[in-house]
Structures are given as C-alpha cells and as structure tokens.
Amino acid sequence: MSKIIFIPGYLTDDYQLLTENIESYKDPEEPDLFNNYVDSLLAQLNKTPGFLAGMPDQLAMCLLFVVKLDCAKLSSLSLLSEPTWADVKTCVSIHKKYRPLLSTLTDNFQHQLKIALLLLCFYELEATTQEFNAEIDDSEDHEDHEDLDEYQGPDQDYLDEF
C-alpha cells in the first residue's frame, strides 16, 4: 500500500487548477489533444516568457515534458512550508533545448516558476488534496423543523391541499 501524499495548503488552489486542466485535455478519443495543447503553450512561452504571468498551473503544464524533478527530495522540502528558490532549483533538471527559457523564467518570474515546479512535483507523486471533515451539528436544524410543524398561519390550509 502506497503512502498518501497531501498537497500543502499553499498549493491547493493551483494544484486543483492544474489537475482539472490536464484532465480536460486528456481525451481518449483524441490522444494528441493534450500534447498539442502543451506544445502550443510552450511555443508561445518561448516567444513571450511573461505570457503565463499569474498562471502557475499553465506554466506547470508547459514544463511537464521538459523538466525532470527529484520529487522525493522536493516534496520533503515543501510539505510544511514553501521552500526557497535555492532549495527548489537543486531538484530540477531541464532539457538543454529549454535552458535559455528556464533562465529567463528564473530571472523574471522566479516565484511563479518555483510554484509551477512544486505543482509538477506533487502531480508526479499523484498527491491529493486534503478534505476537510467536520462533524455536522444539526441541533439548530432540528429546532427549526419543530417551529415549522407548529406554524398554523392563514396559508396553512392552502398548503395542506397540495
């Protein structure tokens, strides 16, 4: 049985966007749809590195096929708090064709790049978001239903007909 890995709270929203986007483009009837989408995003990113500013989930999709991550090391660094860029960059290998792009992203969009790489790490580990489970306090609901039973206003006869 494998250990369940949960997404750190600071990545939850972006991770949900990433997984939803990947799932929406993975179509068994059109298997190339996802790869074509990623290729077009990556081409645009190469032309205009700021094109995905504010969208770390989309940046993560662009980097999916061009980086290799040391997920074991990176996930342990990021579970309790957001790691520094210096820690993250030691866990990343990139295809030599994309080194200039990564350098540009590092220089101009370092935080977004870091978040995108963390998202990819947890995606590769098939992490899951932690669900909030709270006990339901239905004491107020129960009291409200009792009040409804006692109501005998002028419309009560009309409502009873149906």
pLDDT, position 88: 95
Return the pLDDT at 106: 94
Reading the chain (162 residues) residue by residue, the pLDDT tens digits are 467 888 999 999 999 999 999 998 888 888 888 899 999 999 999 999 888 989 999 999 999 999 999 999 998 888 888 999 999 999 999 989 999 999 999 999 999 999 999 999 999 998 887 654 334 444 454 444 444 444 454 444 444 443
Is residue 51 classed as helix, strand or coil in its secondary structure? Answer: helix
Greatest CA separation for the chain: 79
pLDDT at residue 55, rounded to an integer: 94
Quote the pLDDT of residue 30: 87
SS3 string, 110-123, reads HHHHHHHHHHHHHH
Confirm if 83 and 140 have CB atoms less than 8 A apart: no
CB neighbours of 118 closer than 8 A, spacing ≥ 6? 11, 74, 78, 82, 83, 88
The whole-model pTM stands at 0.76
DSSP 64-111: TTTEEE-HHHHHHHHSSSPPPHHHHHTTEEE-GGGHHHHHHHHHH-HH
Give the Å distances, CA to CA, from 128 to 9, 100, 109. 11, 32, 26
pLDDT at position 130 is 61
SS3 55: coil
Q: Are 102 and 94 in contact (CB under 8 A)?
A: yes
- Do 59 and 45 meet the contact criterion of CB atoms below 8 Å apart? yes
- Residue 158: per-residue pLDDT: 42
Give 42's contacts (C-beta < 8 A, 6+ positions apart).
62, 66
